[in-house]
Amino acid sequence: MITVRYIEPDLTERVVQVQPGQTLMQAAVNNRVRGIVAECGGACMCATCHVYVEESHVDRLKAVDATEDEMLEAVESERQDNSRLSCQIKATPEIDGIVVRIAPVQV
Amino acid sequence: MAATAAGKSTIREEIKVGRTNTPAFAWPTVVLALVLLATFAASVWLALRGSISYLASACINGVVIYSIYTVVHEAVHNNISSHRHDLRWVDSVLGHMSCFLLWQFMDHHRESHLEHHKHTNEDSDPDINARATLAGYLFVRLPVALLNYFNPYVLYQECKRFDVPRDGIRRTFIAFGLNTAVLAGLLVAGYGYEVLVLWFIPWWIGQSIMLTLFTWSPHHDHWETGRYRNSRISEFPGANWLLLGQGYHLIHHMMPAVPWYRYKRTFDQLRPILRDNGVRIEGLQPMDPGTYRSEPVQQGAAR
């Protein structure tokens, strides 16, 4: 299992054990982590699972592709260099211990 | 970055319109699921007791099988419970029940379908086998795909390919085992002919029509990518009923949270914006690519 630390919008920290292969969005929804809306269910088409990835983990993730980049332009909270859509981050051993801060406004 | 001729991205506006057309809970899909499941059960029961002919029952069941994929599709996107996250079990229950008739498996199909959304018309699109002429699809690729539904090895390979989580693989094979057990039980009990006529032949025809209208037609010719071009709009009289909204498949790809029965309304509200973005608005038959693309795409060319 991969350990993921979510920081909810009210700064509550939630530690979730995620199955490899599951996305951070799916794991958040399944574990009732607050702040992720995920309107489209993981199709990278709604920009409502926006998270800020802790800087030390950013380079361990697959690069943002064109579709995610396009959708990140439509996020409601400010887009930052470490902004990602959590539906595009799959749990792998490389990101064990990752910390993601959930963007305060999704919709 | 997609943008209109004026150079302005319209994604935020599109999402806003889509959001106004997304209900808190999709009751029409629940009704559709229950009506279709009840119709299938009633049709088989009436045929077995001799009240209707096997042919009539087979026709009814074919329509049910064609239509019930809409329930599976909505369930895969959690579009039945929609904003009601506490009711996700409704998607799961109705999705699994509907999958049973289709010999499909929710967890496998969810990951496969989301992969299709993320890589529509790319070589890695799970539905890319539809990149063919209509005849090639109907008579070669589609039959092969349908036969593979029954191959557990292919199913397992696809689970791995689509990164289905371990629990999902387990549920997929429990469902596969259940389908197989029911089929074997019916055959052992002497209902082989009934299984063939009332389930498998309608399944083959219903699935073929559904996959042609749901997979081949909306994305034809399966070379274009991007938010506004990877699917098309297909408008013709009666389309919305016959296709259960899938004539507006592009709307689904742009905003998967919008339920099938709101695609048309969403499209009507966005029509000017979509036209400005170069969306393909066509009829039943896909236009010849040469009419909307200046340069032909070469097989295997860099995308």
Q: How close B52 comes to chain A (CA, Å)?
A: 42
Query: pLDDT digit string (tens) for B64-122?
Result: 999 999 999 999 999 999 988 889 999 999 999 999 999 999 999 999 998 898 889 99
Q: Which of residues 30-89 of A touch B (CB under 8 A)?
A: 32, 39-47, 67, 69-71, 73-74
Domains identified in chain A, total number: 1
Could you state, in order of their start, the residue ranges of all structural domains in chain B? 25-260+280-291
Enter the pTM of the model: 0.87
Dist. CA A20–CA B188, nearest whole Å: 40
- Chain A residue closest in CA terms to B3: A70
Is residue B1 within a helix (H) or strand (E), and if so which, with residue range? none
Tokens 């013709």 correspond to B236
- Domain membership flag for residue A71: yes
Q: How close A32 comes to chain B (CA, Å)?
A: 9
- Domain membership flag for residue A98: yes
Q: What is the pLDDT of residue B7?
A: 66
Contact of B266 with B215, CB cutoff 8 Å: no
Dist. CA A85–CA B1, nearest whole Å: 17
B230 exposure class (CB count in 10 Å sphere: 0-12, 13-18, 19+): buried
Tokens for B289, please give them: 């690519």
Residue B300: φ, ψ to 5°? 80, 0
Judge whether A17 is closer than 8 Å to chain B, CB to CB: no
Cβ separation of B164 and A21 shorter than 8 Å? Answer: yes
Q: What is the pLDDT of residue B295?
A: 54
Query: pLDDT digit string (tens) for A53-99?
Result: 999 999 999 999 888 998 998 898 999 999 999 999 999 999 999 99
Q: How close A35 comes to chain B (CA, Å)?
A: 12
Tokens for B168, please give them: 């999902």
Q: Which residues of chain B have pLDDT under 50?
A: 1, 298-303
Cβ separation of B163 and A70 shorter than 8 Å? Answer: no
First to last CA, chain B: 16
Alpha-carbon torsion, ordered B141, B146, B148, B152, to 10 deg: 160
Domain ranges, residue A77:
2-102
Please list every residue in chain B whose beta carbon sits closer than 8 Å to the beta carbon of residue A32.
85
Give the 3-state DSSP-derived string for B198-227, with helices as H, strands as E and coil as C.
HHHHHHHHHHHHHHHHHHHHHHCCCCCCCC
Dist. CA A75–CA B219, nearest whole Å: 27
Q: What is the pLDDT of residue B303?
A: 34
- Domain membership flag for residue A68: yes
Q: Which residues of B93-124 are buried (b: 16+ CB within 10 A; e: fewer)?
A: ebbbbbbbbbbbbbbbbbbbbbbbbbbbbeee
Cβ separation of B78 and A41 shorter than 8 Å? Answer: yes
3-state secondary structure at position B90? helix
Q: How many angstroms separate the Cα of B10 from the Cα of each of B43, B98, B160, B167?
A: 48, 36, 37, 39
Which residues lie across from A102 on neighbouring strands? A51
- Chain A residue closest in CA terms to B166: A19
Q: What is the pLDDT of residue A40?
A: 80
Judge whether A93 is closer than 8 Å to chain B, CB to CB: no
**CA of residue A89 relative to chain centroid, distance:** 6
Question: Cα dihedral sign for A31, A36, A37, A40?
Answer: negative
Please tell me whether the interface predicted TM-score (ipTM) of this complex is above 0.90.
no
Is residue A102 within a helix (H) or strand (E), and if so which, with residue range? strand A98-102
- Domain membership flag for residue A107: no
Written as one letter, the residue type at B159 is C
Contact of B73 with B109, CB cutoff 8 Å: no
| Candidate from B2, B79, B164 with C-beta closest to A70 | B2
The domain that contains A82 carries what CATH number? Answer: 3.10.20.30
Comparing C-alpha atoms, which of B107, B104, B128, B106 is closest to residue B116? B128
Instruction: Choose, out of B10, B12, B15, B231, the residue to mutate when testing the contact with A (most A CBs < 10 Å).
Output: B15
Dist. CA B131–CA B148, nearest whole Å: 18
Q: Is the pLDDT of residue A102 over 80?
A: yes
Q: What is the pLDDT of residue A43?
A: 79
Comparing C-alpha atoms, which of B232, B226, B215 is closest to residue B291? B232
Contact of B300 with B131, CB cutoff 8 Å: no
Kindly report whether the peptide bond that precedes residue B127 is cis, defined as omega within 30 degrees of 0.
Answer: no
Please list every residue in chain B whose beta carbon sits closer than 8 Å to the beta carbon of residue A71.
11
Q: How close A59 comes to chain B (CA, Å)?
A: 22
Judge whether B24 is closer than 8 Å to chain A, CB to CB: no
Judge whether B273 is closer than 8 Å to chain A, CB to CB: no
